Each structure stands twice: as structure tokens, then as C-alpha cells.
A and B are shown apart, each in its own frame.
Chain A
């Protein structure tokens, strides 16, 4: 199969996912405001847990667990959106 431009682009996205352990652990904008203005404790956790907080459960090395979650998530998203776009395109041709 001939390599196409978007194969490279997908690899680039996966490379970005590999960098995920380098992310800043400081609270983000909304979380910072919620802490400063005293409503952070209103947040409740989801009643279900799949891969909470972008850390693959059952992997003891945190960096590896984060990378795994990132890479798997990136591939899942690609699959869903690519599939959805194919479906929409097929529908507009019929």
C-alpha cells in the first residue's frame, strides 16, 4: 500500500501522544478558577471508570500508562471520525 500524506499526519498525532507525560501537571484554567473561587468541591467524579484521567489502569509505570492511554485514545478517535466521515460521504453519493 502506497503511503499517503495522512499516514504521516497520523504518525505525527501519535508522536504528540508520546509526549503526553511531559504535560504540565498544574491545574488548567477552569480548575484554577474553581479552586480560587471555592467551587472545586462541587465536582463529582463520574459513576463509571474506564481509563480515568488518561492513565491506563493496571500499568504501574505512570509515564507508560499515560502514553498508552494517549496512543489508544488517539487511534480510537481517528477510527471513529474517519469512519463517520466515510459513512457521511457514502450517504451523500447514494
Chain B
């Protein structure tokens, strides 16, 4: 009970409490497996990015990471006294390709964990898998598939970008539900509908913000959307 009190008072103090998986929610084996898998994915991302990174993409990576960090602090209210916040993986993955996107998300999550105590140290791997690896791959490939089927004009980019962003949030939340279930924290039949349901709403915010940023990029530097993905 004491930690519940701490959790509640912490939220009251901070005003904008964002929360990645903290330590204690997932078991040691799940956390350890998560760290190993995440490290492998990040290592591959470094290799893939290393090969294909262009000059223009260097500052774009930096400013996207900065924007994603800042925007993640801005929790927006959704239904029933709950809030959500941007993940940003779709934004990064669609603009820069999935591998550079994973690197950006991993950097953001590591800084949030080490400096801001957001997301547990041992749960870092799971957080990187959910909001980095899975969210980037899902949003990138669903966006690509959508654009190749429905066309990638201005409207196609905005609509497909928004839908891909929505999907990435739901997939990340489903992955989290599985990790909680495998850990024995809470059964899948309890968390899966709850996590997917609430994140289907939060994902609407993610989709709207992603589409809005794409519209802003198109209006100012449309060429950035045409860059070859990393």
C-alpha cells in the first residue's frame, strides 16, 4: 500500500506524469530477455543506419528525437480521467526509416530512464522493444503498404501516416500486455482488452499529432518526406 501512496503522491506533485513500464511490473526473466532482444535490435539498427545515413538526415535525427522527447511530456486527456501521450515512433520511422527510428526511440527511452527515472532500468529492454522496435517496424511497414495500395499523395501521406501511428500505439500496448501476462503479473484476458482498449483511444491522439507534424513538414520542407529511408 505504501508504494501506491507514493505513486499517487508522485502524480500529484509532478502534474504531468508519464509512465513507461516501471521495475516490478515484469518478472526478472522477462526483463532480462527483453534487454537481450532489445540490445540485438539496437545493434542491428546501428549497423543498418551506419550504412545508409545521408548528410541531410543527421540534423533531422537530432531534431526529431528532441521533439519526440518534448512531446512525450505533454500528456493529453482522453476519456475517463485518463491521459495519453505521444510515442513518436511512427513519426521517426516514416520520416527516417525503421532502423534510424529505432535508434532515436532507444536514445529517448535511455535518457528518460537514466535521467528522469521514467521507465525501470531493468524494464528498459521491454520498453525499447514495445515503443522502439515494434512501434517503428509496425508503423513503417503499415505506412508503406498503405501508400502503395492507396497512393501516396498529400492526402495519402497524412491519412496513412495517422493510421500507421494509431496501429503502432495499439501494437505496443498489446506487447506490453503480453509481457505483463508472461511475467505472471496479471492474466492476459484481464489486461489485453484493457490495454488495447485504452490505447486505441490514445492512438487517435498519436495519429492526429503524427499527421499534423507531417502536414507541417510538407508545408515547410516537403523534400524531407521524400528522403530515402534508413
Query: Smallest CB–CB gap between A75 and chain B, Å?
Result: 7
Q: Would you call A91 an interface residue if the criterion is a C-beta within 8 Å of the partner chain's C-beta atoms? A: yes
Q: Would you call A33 an interface residue if the criterion is a C-beta within 8 Å of the partner chain's C-beta atoms? A: yes
Chain A residues with Cβ below 8 Å from B61 are 81-82, 84-85
A84→B1 CA distance, assembly (Å)? 43
Which residues 1-49 in A have Cβ within 8 Å of B in the complex?
Answer: 4-6, 9-10, 12-14, 16-17, 19-34, 36-37, 39-46, 48-49
Q: How many A-B residue pairs have CB under 8 A?
A: 242
A74→B73 CA distance, assembly (Å)? 10
Instruction: Check B18–A55 contact: CB distance below 8 A.
Output: no
Which residues 35-84 in A have Cβ within 8 Å of B in the complex?
Answer: 36-37, 39-46, 48-55, 62, 66, 69-70, 73-82, 84
Chain B residues with Cβ below 8 Å from A5 are 220-221
Stretch at the interface among B31-39, B79-87, B136-144, B151-159: B79-87
How big is the A interface, by class?
35 or more
Q: Would you call B226 an interface residue if the criterion is a C-beta within 8 Å of the partner chain's C-beta atoms? A: no
Interface string of B22-60 (1 = CB under 8 A from A): 111100000000000000000000100111011101111
A76→B190 CA distance, assembly (Å)? 39
Query: Smallest CB–CB gap between A69 and chain B, Å?
Result: 7
Interface string of B105-121 (1 = CB under 8 A from A): 00110011111111011
Q: Would you call B225 an interface residue if the criterion is a C-beta within 8 Å of the partner chain's C-beta atoms? A: no
Instruction: Check B74–A22 contact: CB distance below 8 A.
Output: yes
Instruction: Check A29–B69 contact: CB distance below 8 A.
Output: no
A26→B8 CA distance, assembly (Å)? 10
Q: Would A23 and B73 be within 8 Å (CB), given that A46-B23, A52-B117, A66-B16 are in contact? A: yes
Instruction: Check A77–B65 contact: CB distance below 8 A.
Output: yes
Interface string of B10-24 (1 = CB under 8 A from A): 111111111111111
Residue of B20, B65, B77 with most partner-chain A CB within 10 A: B65
Which of B17, B20, B23, B195 interacts with A53 by CB under 8 Å? B17
Chain B residues with Cβ below 8 Å from A74 are 66, 69-70
Residue of B23, B50, B61, B191 with most partner-chain A CB within 10 A: B61
Which residues of A are in contact with B by a Cβ distance under 8 Å? 4-6, 9-10, 12-14, 16-17, 19-34, 36-37, 39-46, 48-55, 62, 66, 69-70, 73-82, 84-86, 88-89, 91-92
7 contacts between A and B (CB under 8 A): A13-B69, A24-B77, A32-B82, A45-B6, A45-B22, A54-B118, A69-B116
Which residues of B are in contact with A by a Cβ distance under 8 Å? 1, 3-4, 6-7, 10-25, 46, 49-51, 53-55, 57-71, 73-77, 80-85, 100, 103-104, 107-108, 111-118, 120-121, 173, 176, 180, 185-186, 190-191, 194-195, 198-199, 202, 220-221
